[in-house]
Amino acid sequence: MGRSKRGGQMFFSKCFLRRGVVFTLLLFFWGAGFLFGEEQASEVNHQMSDEYVDKAWAASGAGNFQDVYRITNECIEKFGKEADALAQTLNNFPSQKKRGMYQVMNNVATCYFIQGEAYLKEGIILMKEGKQEQAKEKFACAKKVFLEVIGKYPYAQAWDPRGWYWSIREASQKTVEKIEKGEVIKMGVEPPQPVEKEIKVKLYDYGLEFPVDYEKYGEFIGIGTENYRYVIKDPIGLSRATGEGIYPNTSSIKFDPRFIKIKKKLFKMDQWKLLNSRDLSTAFYRWNLSSEPLGVKQFYIADILQRSGLIKQAVKAYYAILVHFPSVVGWTYWQTPWYVGKVALYRLKFLLRKYPQLNLRLKDAYLEVINGFDNNIRNDKFIVNPGRLVKKSFLDKSSSVKKRKLGRIVERRGGDKVKLVKYESGDWQLMVDDIPFLVKGITYSPTKVGESPDEGTLSNWTTQDTNNNGLIDAPYEAWVDKNRNNIQDKGEERVGDFKLLKDMGVNAIRVYHQPFKLNKEVFKQLFQKYGIYIIMGDFLGKYALGSGANWSEGTNYNNPQHQKNMLESVRKMVLEFKDEPYILFWLLGNENVYGIACNADKKPRSFFKFANKAAQLIKSLDPLKRPVAIASGDTLYLNLFAEECPDVDIFGTNVYRGKYGFLDLWDSVKKLVDKPVIITEYGCPSYARGYTDEEGEIYQAEYHQNAWEDIYYNSCGYGAGNSIGGIAFEWLDEWWKAYEPYYHDRKGLFAGPFLDGYMHEEWLGICSQGDGKNSPFLRQLKKVYFTYKELWNKD
């Protein structure tokens, strides 16, 4: 998921204050002028307090504790009164729409938190130096500050630039508990949460038909146009056919004995928490009472039915969305549009492929969202054909996995050694030395437990030699803890990550030439001994890397000096590695369109224009003319990429859409761009709250298997025919992502399409580091390792 920096620029929205009724026109104008001035002043305070937070985080990361105390005290003194007044208006966390009104309060509270952490860090340093009494004084100061912020600002939140807010009270309380227990350096793995009992849905009414013949109960109008709709003429008959919980059947549930037993309690239950729980039965009944838009409601009912193993009912529910609600739009955690109909369509296709015993195929269905690559849903147009569920013919069964004929080559991109070719059939293929090459890649950046970019302690893995024996640690000295006892037993000799990667079937790793000077000798050995290529990247201003901007300012893709600096960074990369045979292709950016210390999210056209300039520069410098790819974010602003990046050869993108693959991504790119596609990042945590560790690993393995099969079955000769492979994220669990680098946190950092509904970023690895005490050497291979070993070593 890329690099992080704790703190940074907060989201900003104008503050406004509600006023009572204005009794006269004169008072209205006076009040409006007063309000306008107050609003302007508050806006200035927002910006000024933001700057204090940025400076405080920077000083903390650099270990300049006296600067931290000076900066945070200035912020608290200047804005404390306003923060206190804002805090008095809250009895809970403000809604997402109102967060901007409390920016000053959040910033003051964040400064308290940074100050407390500085005292804590100072105390740890003194403790390691044997100065116990002085350390105790610092810990006491830290505790005092944390308790003060807990008491004064219980509903303050700090912004993580990766895209979410975190509770300052909760983080402070945990630190206070550590101080009180004498555990200021927390080492080890967080104990698992209690395992929940799974309760599946048992239906009262399964319906009379499968599949449902909708033509018997209504009329399809405007099929294949933006005026599509289905008119129900026999609602009673259709309800009987569909069954409980499937539109328009809202009556069967009323006779369900289980529902009758608990219906009085349901309205008090949080439907979203239930959705992520293992009590699928209660979740089903609660969602039948939901006030969400009907299409959203039907989708989650379908999902619950599917997770309960009621596959026929799930198929009926997903298809009902295509028939009745194909144009409904929901919103993701990141406030981007979620096209429910498109997701339902590809969920349906997934189930029909996974369960061939259903003996069904979806004929002629398609759903196109015109203008669907931005965040403005007002300009969307939906072209809909719900298709029909029909029985498979003999020809359908025999041709489902047959590779199509490609014809002759009609287009080439790249050089002689590494090139992309397009066939008459429209399929794309990556060729290396004229042999087809499907990228089986992984993001490889092994991080030692205790190190963190947030604290400026991250090491360069290509040179790291912690035991000073002349060997690079992770690549050559990693060993497999086969029995997971966190001890190197007899027979668990060092093998090195590179050998493990080779055995897994990896043929390429993704690496960036920033921020460290890379050890080229390591890459040479990786290539020569193990046959693994390097996909070499430049962040292109993401995280402000290469642009010369500071973190709070961020890269501006319209700034000539920033552009000049970034092109120089790209030039440096190519000149350093252009003659190396292990370079597979070049990669630009890392989901820049989401922002984070750059303005590509606000100026996407400017970003893509600049990315094209960088691609042109690479091609002018690389004598082997290897292809150039971009690493975008899902299909956000895909239309602008199509318009502005003719010299970028490959559309690469980081995608986390859930365990059902990448849905319509392949078709969307083929239609709009017609370039080869690589998934530059995809993955899933191996931990889920309420599940056993084994269940979490099984789910992670299934997620990756489904993702890879989707990649494979859209490669040359199959499906959309534009996939050239994927890069799994990531090789090794990283312990720093929830901010305590010595502690393997199980917290869900934000909502996501995973087993318990949350992203546990510290558990994304193909391998675990066990209890952390033998880092950076110990490897516990998760189930997903063996899944890939089987998938990637097939002929």
User: What confidence tens digit (pLDDT) does each residue in 460-476 have?
Assistant: 999 999 999 999 999 99
Provide the angle, in degrees to the nearest 10, between the axes of the packed helices 103-128 and 132-152.
170
Global confidence as pTM? 0.84
The counts of H helices and E strands in the chain are 22, 29
Q: What is the pLDDT of residue 161?
A: 61
Q: Are 785 and 766 in contact (CB under 8 A)?
A: yes
Q: What is the pLDDT of residue 166?
A: 81
Q: Quote the CA–CA distance of 141 and 120 in Å, as a whole number.
A: 8
Residue 291: exposure state from Cβ atoms within 10 A (0-12, 13-18, ≥19): exposed
- Phi, psi dihedrals of residue 610, rounded to the nearest 5°: -70, -40
Q: How confident is the model at residue 400 (pLDDT cuts 50, 70, 90)?
A: low
Q: Quote the CA–CA distance of 47 and 104 in Å, as a whole number.
A: 9
**Alpha carbon 8 to chain centroid distance?**
19
Lowest mean pLDDT among 45-49, 419-423, 504-508: 45-49
Range 422-448 average pLDDT: 97
DSSP 402: P
At the fourth CATH level, the homologous superfamily of domain 438-791 is: Glycosidases (3.20.20.80)
Q: What is the pLDDT of residue 16?
A: 22
Q: What is the pLDDT of residue 458?
A: 86
Of 519, 526, 511, 532, give the one whose Cα is nearest residue 470: 519
% of the chain at pLDDT higher than 70: 92
Range 15-39 average pLDDT: 31
Residues with Cβ < 8 Å from 404, sequence gap 6 or more?
Answer: 425, 427, 717, 718, 721
Query: How far lies 230's CA from each of 282, 325, 384, 676, in Å?
Result: 31, 9, 11, 37
Q: What is the pLDDT of residue 57?
A: 84
Q: What is the pLDDT of residue 683?
A: 97
- Phi, psi dihedrals of residue 31, rounded to the nearest 5°: -65, -40
Q: What is the pLDDT of residue 164?
A: 65
Tens digits of per-residue pLDDT, 716-751?
999 999 999 999 999 999 999 887 888 898 888 888
- Phi, psi dihedrals of residue 440, rounded to the nearest 5°: -115, 80
pLDDT at 13 exceeding the cut of 70: no
Query: What one-character-per-residue DSSP string does 650-708 give?
Result: EEEEE----TT--TTHHHHHHHHT---EEEEEE---S--TTS-HHHHHHHHHHHHHHHH
Query: How far lies 334's CA from each of 277, 330, 331, 366, 570, in Å?
Result: 22, 11, 8, 26, 30
Q: CB atoms < 10 A from the CB of 793, how many?
A: 11
Q: What is the pLDDT of residue 541?
A: 95
pLDDT at 795 exceeding the cut of 70: no
DSSP 594: G
- The amino acid at residue 353 is R
Q: Where in the chain is the domain with CATH 3.20.20.80?
A: 438-791
Q: How confident is the model at residue 165 (pLDDT cuts 50, 70, 90)?
A: confident
pLDDT at 140 exceeding the cut of 50: yes
Range 71-90 average pLDDT: 95
% of the chain at pLDDT higher than 90: 76
Q: What is the pLDDT of residue 397?
A: 60
Whether omega for the bond prior to residue 211 falls within 30 degrees of 0, making it cis, is yes
Q: What is the pLDDT of residue 185?
A: 67
Instruction: Tell me the pLDDT of the chain averaged across its residues.
Output: 90
